[in-house]
Structure formats: structure tokens, C-alpha cells
Amino acid sequence: MEYRLLGKTGIQISAIGFGTWGIGGWWGPKDDRLAIESLEKAVEAGINFFDTALVYGDGHSENLLGKVLKKRRGQVIIATKIPPKNYQWPAQSQTPIKEAFPKKWMIECTEKSLRNLGMDYVDLQQLHVWTDAWLDNGEWQEGCEELKKRGWVRSFGISINDHAPETALKIAASGKIDSVQVIYNLFDQSPEEELFPLCEKQNVGVIARVPFDEGSLTGSLTLQTKFHPDDWRKNYFTPERLREIVGRVDSLKKTLVRYQEDLPEAALRFCIAHPAVTTVIPGMRRPEHVAANSKIPEKKLPDQLLQELKSYSWIRDFYHGTACRGVTP
């Protein structure tokens, strides 16, 4: 496993992290036994970064992490997130900070997360949505300072609105945070334009989420794919969208075949190839997913292929209108 510094925190985290929205719920039937096996396998494979959130399964994801990782606390890096008090995703620039992240709410949510995890502190606390309109408001900063003062939080970051890296350019340039979490994958390469250069300049860690585009970049979806009633993606991949997705993925596969590259592996290697990216956090609900993904840093994508993959950039927002817009790992 390869380890990288998370910005200016001094914290070393694995280039492949573990996104835990999937084991918390909303992705079809939950299987806690497999989830626990996957978490155990991840630690064995050298994965030390685990990203969760208070809203993932209403604390269920945090509870599972606590069961497995509490006894290994010195080996692992835990990141979680504070939901906005108004539970509005994405953040709106006109929303007052007191409706989203008042100091008292930040403290209450962090305390609840620590109880769920069974831990005394988290290595990284994040605001689960963000708008740069809040940058100069002292409320969230006071909350951050209080959490650090209490010893509950080692570092602080934000999770950026879906497909909207431009909404966090000011805070990335401000030096007020340690990390940003952003959607970055073969289709959505937009963070490369402005956000990543700012993060490199200011030494802000980057956590790349949704590397598989909610499953399309695993290559497993077909025109006949049917989603479980409990899987939120049934509203994300409508028949019309699925038709376009499958066509684009088929074209991508043809490019990868020429380089003898597998699509899921290339999707992860693409993310960690960018120098601004600290870690990528795929969801891994089965031990075999962990076994495959943990080996990703051992091989790099050829430079020529990386250049060809730039042509697959595709800006769109399928979250609009779904029941859980914005709550992404």
C-alpha cells in the first residue's frame, strides 16, 4: 500500500481509502457480516483511511466501524462528517450558516459520532456540504476551534457539493481547512481545472469520492440492469440515463482494451494518478472488492493512456431530482 500526507496535517493515509456509505444502507439489503469482513480485510491489506458520516444509515456505518476499528485505533485514520442542521443537500448560498452549521449543532453531532464509533476523537471532521458564501462567517470556525480544543477532532475539512468544485475555491485558497472531499472520476474531471491547483498550492488534502460514478465505472451495468427497491440508484440510473451511460462505458472499455487495462482498476488508478489527490474512497461491501482495490497503487497507468482518458470527461448532474441528492461518499 502507498501512503500519502493529508495536506499539512502530518497524518499519513493510504492512497486507497474505504468509503462506508454503502455499508450503512441505501444500496439495497444491508449485510453487516460481509461489511465487517470487508473492514477486517481492509486493515489486513494496509488500508488505514476510513471515511464515514453521521447520516450514513443514521449512524449505522459509524457503529460498524467502531465494532471493527476501536481495538485498532492506533492503526487507523477515521474521518466522519457533520450533516447540515437543515438537512439540505446541496448547500445553497443564500442559506444562513446558523441554519446549516451552528456551533452547538457541530458539537452535538460530533459527540453523537464519537458515541457511535466508541472512540474519543476522530482524525478528520468534515462539514457534509459547503458554499463559499459561508467562508467569512465565524460560526463554523468557532465550532471547529471548540472541537479541536476539546480534543475531539485532529483536523478539519469540507465535503463539496456534487459536481460543483467551483463552490469551494475560496475556502481551498483560504488556508482555513485541511482537506476537501470532492467527486472526481473518469467522467467528472472538473476538479482538475481550478480546485486541484489551489489545493496543491495551499497544501490542502484531497479526498476523491465516487470514483466509480455510483457503479457505472465498474463496467457491471447493462441495459437490463434492475436495481433493488432499497437501492437509491433506481432513481439515479433512469432507463434513458442508463442507455447513455452504457454507451459511454462501452467506448471507454475499447480504449482500455488496447492497453490491457481493466475498467474498475483504471478508474481508481486514474484518480490517484493526479498529484493533488491524497486518497480515493471507493465503497467496498465485499471482501473481494477490498482484495482487488488494495492492490491498485502497485501499478501506474501509462502516460499516453492518461492523456487519452481526458477525452472521456463528461459533465452532468444525475443527482438532481433523486431522493438523496448530495449524500454521497
Domain ranges of the chain: 3-312
Distances (CA, A) of 27 to 21, 23, 48, 73: 8, 8, 24, 27
Residue 323 has pLDDT above 50, yes or no: no
Give the predicted TM-score (pTM) of the model. 0.92
3 state SS for 103-146: HHHHHHHHHHHHHHHCCCCEEEEEECCCCHHHCCCHHHHHHHHH
Q: How many CB atoms lie within 10 A of CB 72?
A: 12
Cα 179 to the chain's mean position, in Å?
12
pLDDT category, 327, cuts 50, 70, 90? Answer: very low
Question: In 3-state terms, what secondary structure has residue 83?
Answer: coil
Average pLDDT, the chain: 91
Residue 322 or 122, more confident: 122
Q: Convert the pLDDT of each residue in 76-113 to its tens digit.
A: 999 999 999 999 888 998 999 999 999 999 999 999 99
- 32's grid cell: 453487516
* Fold held by 3-312: TIM Barrel (3.20.20)
pLDDT category, 117, cuts 50, 70, 90? Answer: very high
DSSP 143-169: HHHHHHHTTSEEEEEEEPPTT-GGGGH
Amino acid at 31: D
Question: In 3-state terms, what secondary structure has residue 243?
Answer: helix
Helical H runs in the chain?
A: 21-24, 32-44, 60-69, 97-100, 103-117, 138-149, 169-174, 195-202, 239-258, 263-273, 287-293, 303-309
Give the integer Cα–Cα distance in Å for 24 and 65.
Answer: 10
Question: How many Cα atoms occupy the beta-carbon half-sphere of 306 within 13 Å?
Answer: 11
Cα 72 to the chain's mean position, in Å?
22
pLDDT value of position 159: 96
Given CA atoms 265, 3, 214, 305 in this order, what sign does their dihedral have?
A: negative
Asked if 29 and 230 touch (Cβ cutoff 8 Å), the reply is: yes
Residue 322 has pLDDT above 60, yes or no: no
- Which DSSP letter does residue 84 get? P
Q: Convert the pLDDT of each residue in 47-77 to its tens digit.
A: 999 999 999 999 999 999 999 999 999 899 9
Average pLDDT over residues 249-267: 93
